[in-house]
Amino acid sequence: MAEFRMPSLGADMETGKLVNWLTKPGDRVKRGDVIATVETQKGLFEAETFEEGILGEPLVQAGQKVQVGTVLAMINPEGAGGTVEKVSDVSPAKPAVSAERVACSPSARRLAAELGVNLAAVRGTGPHGAIQRCDVDKTAQTRKMVEKPAPIAAPSAPVHAETAATDTLQEGMRQAIAAAMSRSNREIPHYYLEMEIDMSRPLRWLEVENLKRPIRERILPTVLLLKAMAKALRNVPELNGYWLDDRLQIKPELHIGFAVALRGGGLITPAIHNVDKLNLNELMKAMGDLIERTRAGRLRSSEMSDTTITMTNLGDLGVRTVYGVIYPPQVALVAFGRITERPWAEGGMLGVRRTVTATLAADHRATDGHRGSQFLEALNRHLQLPEEL
């Protein structure tokens, strides 16, 4: 029997309000389903389950505020005796469940105590879901960085009523960015590599492709960059993962954090999941969906916690080169500037080409410049074959 708990969505989050249940007791749920909406000081979140089974009766009612880690409902294995049994040892709105009930390695438990992490809020990845050191570390880091946008005010809402709340949100977000970036600069020995990439071929290909499509189905150049980046990471997987427990942990999944600037200021980098498995149409859709939900305050908890590498594209402004700061525990960040026409010498001739500067910021503990340049080479190679993206 599994538990669906109030998730932890920020280092300073102690309590969360259950706004509403999106799934009824008796419904079958599976990993990744959104079960409820929760509200923190930073806005609304969609809370997902990581379990599969039949959702039990709510132990916390809509509108109740409870501590992080509180069991909101049980999730019973299918076929386990029809309707939901009442769980006696979990009373509604009970403060966070004690750490003793959680399967956890002793060293992870010590680390959790050191870092002040509530074990009830950690998702274990060890055998039978046991919590390991890396899970604790990841939760601690994620809690520092996970941030939420202000829900966008309805056009009719009075502007003044929003101001105070927005100020607090802005402040919270600034604090979180400050903590993550300070840690990054303190701990990560960054190295930077940049490459100017001729975009003529991919852009021409895209223009022809877009000409065939109604405006709603057109693809933005950023999507080509994202997909080429994913393919290049398959060639150089060492850039996709975490630096934890003094070693590089390469991740098989490619969840690219996509930097989205918020209109009120601040920045959120939610993940586009499995970029390598999406074709350009699907990727355009996924990116649009993520941008919309980021700005509307409807991100899912997992999108804020499982990013394996980050991409930032400041090409909408005039910036040509971006030297990124890596989000720990990730080990690389890929940045693109604006696509512009520049003089380009090739084959003894000087011409004008549309180009973009791609910059890799990477953790020197995890990789060396040689591997980094192989990544940029691969990125260029994939971009020059847009029809294969």
Partner 1 sequence: MTENELKEIIFRELKKIAPECDPDEVDLNENIREELDIDSYSFLQLLIELSEKTGVDIVEADYEKVYTLDGMIRYLGAHLL
* 79 is a site residue for partner 1 (CB under 8 A): no
Question: Considering beta carbons, is residue 164 or 215 the nearer one to partner 1?
Answer: 215
x/- contact string, 272-301, with partner 1 (CB under 8 A)? Answer: ---------------xx--x----------
Q: How far is the CB of 386 from partner 1 (least distance, A)?
A: 15
- Nearest alpha carbon to residue 361 among 158, 213, 189: 189
In Å, what is the CA distance from 32 to each residue of 38, 128, 226, 300, 301? Answer: 16, 18, 24, 9, 10
Residue 243 DSSP label: E
Q: Considering only 64-72, 103-111, 113-121, 260-268, which stretch makes contact with partner 1 by CB under 8 A?
A: 260-268
236 binds partner 1 (CB under 8 A): no
Burial of 183 (0-12, 13-18, 19+ CB in 10 A): middle
Provide, rounded to whole angstroms, the least separation between the CB of residue 288 and partner 1.
6
330 near partner 1, rule: CB under 8 A: no
Residue 267 sits in the site that holds partner 1 (CB under 8 A): no
For residue 225, what are the CA distances in angstroms to 222, 234, 334, 358, 372? 5, 14, 10, 9, 17
Shortest Cβ distance from residue 283 to partner 1 (Å)?
13
Nearest to 333 by CA among 360, 315, 370, 356: 360
Comparing CB distances to partner 1, the nearer of 19 and 152 is 152
Which residues, 6+ apart, have CB-to-CB distance to 282 below 8 Å?
none
Piece in contact with partner 1 (CB under 8 A), picked from 17-25, 85-93, 216-224, 325-333: 216-224
The count of residues interacting with partner 1 (CB under 8 A) is: 22
User: Least distance (Å) from partner 1 to the CB of residue 154?
Assistant: 9
Q: Which residues from 110-169 bind partner 1, rule CB under 8 A? A: 152-153, 155
Please identify, among the stretches 59-67, 84-92, 239-247, 310-318, the one whose residues bind partner 1 according to the rule CB under 8 A. Answer: 310-318
Binding residue for partner 1 (CB under 8 A) from 34, 115, 165, 220? 220
Tell me the closest approach of the beta carbon of residue 153 to partner 1, in angstroms: 7
67 in Cβ contact with 14 (< 8 Å): yes
Largest CA distance in the chain: 80
Q: Are 290 and 272 in contact (CB under 8 A)?
A: yes
Q: Which of 100, 163, 211, 246 binds partner 1 (CB under 8 A)?
A: 211
Q: Which stretch binds partner 1 (CB under 8 A): 45-53, 205-213, 230-238, 322-330?
A: 205-213
3-state secondary structure of 88: coil
Q: Provide the minimum distance between the beta carbon of 83 and partner 1 in the complex, in angstroms, as a whole number.
A: 45
Give DSSP secondary structure letters for 11-74.
Answer: TT--EEEEEEESS-TT-EE-TT-EEEEEEETTEEEEEEPS--EEE---SS-TT-EEETT-EEEE
Q: Which residues sit at the interface with partner 1, rule CB under 8 A? A: 152-153, 155, 207, 210-211, 214-216, 218, 220-222, 261, 263-264, 287-288, 291, 315-317
